[in-house]
Amino acid sequence: MVETRQLRLHKGLRVTLIHQPDAQQAAALAQVAVGSHDEPDAWPGLAHLLEHLLFSDSARFQGDERLMPWVQAAGGRLNATTLPRSSAWFFEVEPALLAEGAARLADMLAAPQFPSEAIAQEAAVIDAEYRLIQQHTPSRREAALYTRVSAPSAFQRFHIGSREAFGDDMAALKEALHQFHQRFFVAGETQLLLQGPQSLAALEQLAHDFAGRLPSGRAAPRAEEIRFLSQADIALTTHSPGALGITFYLHDFTHDVRDNVTLLREFLQDEAPDGAMHSLRQQAWAQQLTFSWLSLDATGSWLALQFDTEQPDAVCAWLAHALRALAHTSSAQRAHYLQLAQQRFAALTPLDQLRERAFGFAPPAQTTHFSALLRQLAQAPQARLWSAASVQGEATETQGFSLQLQPWTPGHFHGALPPLRFHPLAHRHAELTPPADRAPLISLAGDAPATLLLRPPFFTAVSPADAAAIDRRLRPLFALLRHQGGAGSWREAQGVWQLEAQLPAGSEGWLASLPDALRLDGSPPAEPPPDDVAIRELLRQLPQAVAARSATGRWRAALYGGSPEQQAVIAQWLAPLARESDDPCPPPRAGRCLTVAHPSRDRALLLFLPAPPEVSLAALRALALLMEPRFFQRMRVEQQIGYVVSCRYQRCADRDGILFALQSPDVAPDALRAQCETFLQQFAIAEEAERLATLQSRLCAQLTAASARAEKLQRALRQAHGLRDLGRASVDALTPQALRQAQAQLVIGWPGAVALETRCVETQ
C-alpha cells in the first residue's frame, strides 16, 4: 500500500515522501519557485541557462560523477524544465542508488561551480534550441496565447535565451548567474519529492540530508495575478492541422480544488461509446484533447485545454455543454471516474508520478471539491486561440517569435449538441458464440486478472499509418474495458506495436470486437503528420527501416494468468487473429540509408547498428552503459554537435543493437555519421574490476525490473520462437575481454548499420 508523508523541515524545505513498496525504481524531483518570470530584464533566458548549467560541475561532484553522466551510466532517466514561475530537476534510478543520486541533486542545486567553458557551451546549446523552437508549433501557440496577457508583463518577454541575449561578456554573465542562484536557490523556495520502495523513515533521512546542503532563507514575494486583454481571443497562422486552445485563469486556487482538474480530464477524455471524447470524434469535431498548465502558483493558475479540430465554433459550444452536464453527475459517477484517474496515475513510473504531482495533475483523494472546480471554471476569465493554415494573420514580433496573428471571435453554433453519458451504466450482456477454432496461445500461470499480449510476427513492423488507424479503432474499446474493470493499451515497445489488455470476467463482447479493430486495411491509410521535432520523426520511422518486412495482419498471442476456462474462451475469440506459424527469422535489412523529408532546418541522424549474433546481450548492453555518458560528453560538451545527443542499447523490430541519435543546427548528417563511427572505433574499455562489477549490478537490476506481466509475456513469445534475451548467466560471465570483442564486432559490422537522416522541406 502506498503511504505518503508531507513535511516542512527546519530550514523551510517542503518535502513530500511516497513509500511505494512494489516500486522497481526510485525517483527524486526538486522544484524551486523561480522561473523565467524572475529573470533580470537585462538577462532574458537566464533561468533557462541556469537550468542547463546546474548539470555541470558542483562542489562535491565533477566529471563523470556529476548527476547526468552518473544517471546515464546507471541506466536511469533524468531531465529538467524551466517554467514561468518554477524550475525542476528530476531523475529515476534503481532503488539502491536513490541516496547517491539525491546527494548529487542537492549538491548541484546548492553549490554549482559555473565553469566558464560550461557557460559558453550551454549558451551555444540554448541558442541552437532557440533556432529550433522558431518553427515548433506548440511553442508558437503558447507564445500567441501569452500575447493575450496584459499583466504581468513578464509573459510578453523573451525567455528562451540566445547567443545574442547572453552576449560576449562571460564574466558579466557568470556574475548574473551567481546572483540569480544565490537569491532564489534557498530551502524556503524549494520543494523535494522522493518516491521509492524505501520506508518513510529512510526517505525522511534522505530529505534531511538534502536539506543540509541548502542555505536557509526565503525570497521576497513576487507573484502577480494574471490579467487578460479585453479582447482575449486570437487566431494564429500555422502550417499544422487546426487546433483550438481554450484557457481559464483560476484565482485563489487551492490544492484541493486544483487536483480535481485531473478528475475533470478523466471525464472529458472518456473515449467509451457516448463518452465525452467519443462524442467529439463521432461528430468529427475533434480527434484529441490535451490538458496543460500554462502557469501554476499560489496566486492562481492558468489552465489550457487544446483540441485538435477544424470546427472551433462547435467545440466551444460543446465544452460549455459538457461542463453543464458534469455539474449534474451523481456521486457514484464521480467516484467511478476518480477511481479511473487513480488507476491511471498508479500505472505510471515513480518519476512520472512525481512529475504529475509537481506539475499539477495528481488525482485528488476524493471528489468533494469537484463542484467547486466547475463553479470556478464557469466564472473564470478565458483566453482562446484558434490556429490553422487558413488564418490570415498580420506579422507580429513577440517573445522572440515572428507570429502571424489576427483578432478572432468564435461564431455562434447552431447545430445540435450530442448527449453525453457517464458511467457506470446499466449493461445488457448479449449472448455471443465464440468461433469453433482456437488460436495458438502461450499461457503463463499467474494471478488474476488475465493479461493478454498481442503482437505482430517477429521481424515485421506495423507502419505508422496503420498503427494510427488501429489506435483510433481501439481507443473506444480500451475506454469501455476500463469502465468494466480492465485496462488496455496499444503502444510501440522496442519498435513493435503491441496490444496489452487486462481482461476481467465477461470480456467476450470486447474480444469479439478485436478482429475488426486490428485489421490492416488494404489501401494505404493517410500518413500522420510529421512530428515537429526532427529526431522524434526519425524514431517513428526507424522500425519500418529495420524490420525485414511489413506486418501481415496475423498476430502472436500470449496470456498471463486467468483460469483454464477463461484461457480456453480467450483462445477461441482470438482464432480469427492468431494462427500457427514457425515465424521464420529472415535476415534483417542492413546497410540502408534513408532520407526523411522534414520541415526543420536542423540536421538529424538516427543510426541503428545491429549486433551480430555472436555478441552476447550482456556484453552489448554493458558496452552501451559505458558508452552513453562518454558519447554525451564528447558530442554535446566537447564538440558541441547539438542539443540532441544519445547513444544507448536498443531493441528495434526484434533486433538488438546500439542506437546513435544526433540533431544539430550546423553539422551535416554525413559528418555526424563519421563522428559516431570514430567514437566507436576509439572508445577505450578499462580493465577495472570495480567498473565491471558495477556494470553487472546495473544489468541485474534491469533483469529484476523487467518483471511486469508484459515483459514476461514478451520473453515467453521470444523463447517459443528461439530468440534470445538477457539472462543472469550471461551477466555473471561478463568480462572486459567480452566487452572489447563486442566493440570489435560492432566496428566490423558498421557497414550494416541502418541510418535515417532528415532533408529539409520548406513549408508553404
586: helix, coil or strand?
coil
Secondary structure letter of residue 58 according to DSSP: B
Domain boundaries in the chain? 3-213, 227-407, 442-573, 593-760
Examine the residue annotation and report whether 51 is marked as an active-site residue of this protein.
yes
Strands 382-388 and 234-237: parallel
Q: What are 251-255's contacts with CB under 8 Å, separation 24+? A: 251/225, 251/299, 251/300, 251/376, 251/380, 252/300, 253/300, 253/301, 253/376, 254/369
What torsion, rounded to 10 degrees, do the Cα atoms 234, 235, 237, 239 define?
120
Angle at 210 between CA 208 and CA 211, to 5 degrees: 65
Q: Which residue has the cell 457516448?
A: 274
| 583 closest CA partner among 620, 546, 551 | 551
3-state secondary structure 115-168: CHHHHHHHHHHHHHHHHHHCCCHHHHHHHHHHCCEEECHHHHCCCCCCHHHHCC
C-alpha cell at 427: 449493461
Q: Which residue has the cell 522561473?
A: 35
pTM above 0.95, yes or no: no
Looking at residue 690, what is its pLDDT? 74
Looking at residue 439, what is its pLDDT? 92
> How far out from the chain centre does Cα 143 lie?
22
Secondary structure letter of residue 495 according to DSSP: T
3-state secondary structure 279-306: HHHHCCCCCEEEEEEEEEECCEEEEEEE
CB 615 within 8 A of CB 744: no
Secondary structure letter of residue 589 according to DSSP: P
Looking at residue 427, what is its pLDDT? 64
* Residue 484: φ, ψ to 5°: -90, 0
Q: Which residues on adjacent β-strands are paired with residue 627?
A: none
* Residue 411: φ, ψ to 5°: -75, 165
Secondary structure letter of residue 591 according to DSSP: S
Fold for 593-760, please state it: Cytochrome Bc1 Complex; Chain A, domain 1 (3.30.830)
CB 43 within 8 A of CB 220: no
Looking at residue 361, what is its pLDDT? 95
Looking at residue 764, what is its pLDDT? 40
E strand or H helix that includes residue 149: strand 149-151
Calculate helix-pair angle for 464-483, 534-546, nearest 10 degrees. Answer: 100
3-state secondary structure 716-752: HHHHHCCCCCCCHHHHHCCCHHHHHHHHHHHHHCHHH
* Residue 43: φ, ψ to 5°: -130, 65
Q: How many whole angstroms separate alpha carbon 751 and alpha carbon 674?
A: 12
CB 287 within 8 A of CB 308: yes
Catalytic residue among 51, 122, 189, 271: 51
CB 258 within 8 A of CB 267: no
Looking at residue 599, what is its pLDDT? 84
C-alpha cell at 712: 514476461
CB 28 within 8 A of CB 97: no
Q: How many whole angstroms separate alpha carbon 343 and alpha carbon 101?
A: 28
Looking at residue 471, what is its pLDDT? 93
Q: Which of the residues in the chain have pLDDT under 70?
A: 427-430, 448, 522-527, 583-590, 689, 705-707, 762-764
| 670 closest CA partner among 591, 596, 604 | 604
Calculate helix-pair angle for 331-346, 260-268, nearest 10 degrees. Answer: 100
Q: How many whole angstroms separate alpha carbon 109 and alpha carbon 187?
A: 10
- Right CATH number for 3-213 from 3.30.830.10, 2.70.98.10, 3.40.50.2020, 3.40.50.2300? 3.30.830.10
Q: How many whole angstroms separate alpha carbon 722 and alpha carbon 276?
A: 46
Radius of gyration of the chain from Cα atoms? 26
The answer for residues whose C-beta is within 8 angstroms of residue 150's C-beta and 6 or more apart is: 227, 228, 229
Neighbours of 564 (CB within 10 A): 8
Secondary structure letter of residue 494 according to DSSP: T
Looking at residue 709, what is its pLDDT? 83
Q: How many whole angstroms separate alpha carbon 759 and alpha carbon 599?
A: 8
Q: How many whole angstroms separate alpha carbon 1 and alpha carbon 7?
A: 20
Looking at residue 525, what is its pLDDT? 60
Same fold for the pair 227-407 and 593-760: yes
| CATH assignment, 227-407 | 3.30.830.10
Q: How many whole angstroms separate alpha carbon 416 and alpha carbon 317?
A: 10
CB 155 within 8 A of CB 247: no
